[in-house]
Amino acid sequence: MTASFSLRRPAFLYSILMAVGMAAVVGSALGFQYIGGYIPCELCLMQRQPYYYGIPLVIIGAITSALGLPNWIARTFLLAGGLLMVVGAGIGVYHAGVEWHFWAGPTACSTSAGSMTQDAGNLLTELNTIKGPSCTEAALRVLGLSMAGWNVIASIILAAFAFIGVRKSS
């Protein structure tokens, strides 16, 4: 079997679309943080991890498919991306449950020091006044769902898309 360069293989197309979708979701979260001023809690940051790991994996899958390597390689990377989205959905369900007070959240729910000032003169004042956001309170609700709830929906859609791509690439 010889390898040939091809951008029309289903594994390539699904991998690229997965990477774009995942980047859009995590990019939106980063936009809410850096443009909108919503400081993420510990669980918010944890929900981003599957995207940070998944995007490079599905891009590697797209590259292997484009290079014409055996199809199982690209499918494996696409499957891994889908499984990471299932994990992301699980974290989102946990976070949404914490927000709705269905169960307790982590004891150390705070934000990173990135929200603090760079001005040393105001540092002590900010240390005494700025508190990290609580994982139990949704910073924003859209159509009744918090960002954690929307992440569950996005993760499930992306996971389903990845699994469909794996199936169509066989």
Confidence of residue 111 (pLDDT cuts 50, 70, 90): very low
Whole-angstrom Cα distance, residue 156 to residue 96? Answer: 15
Residue 106's pLDDT is 78
What is the pTM (predicted TM-score) of this model? 0.79
For 109, phi and psi rounded to 5 degrees? -100, 95
pLDDT score, position 1: 46
pLDDT band for position 24 (cuts 50, 70, 90): very high
Q: Of the candidates 98, 6, 8, 9, which has an alpha carbon nearest to the alpha carbon of residue 46? A: 98
pLDDT at 47: 93
Amino acid 64: pLDDT: 93
Task: List the beta bridge partners of residue 142.
Answer: 145
Confidence of residue 122 (pLDDT cuts 50, 70, 90): low
The average pLDDT across 67-90 equals: 94
Confidence of residue 2 (pLDDT cuts 50, 70, 90): very low
Q: Which pair of structure tokens corresponds to residue 4?
A: 């040939």
Q: What whole-number distance in Å separates Cα of residue 149 and Cα of residue 141? A: 9
End-to-end CA distance of the chain: 16
Q: Which helix (H) or strand (E) holds 145?
A: strand 145-146
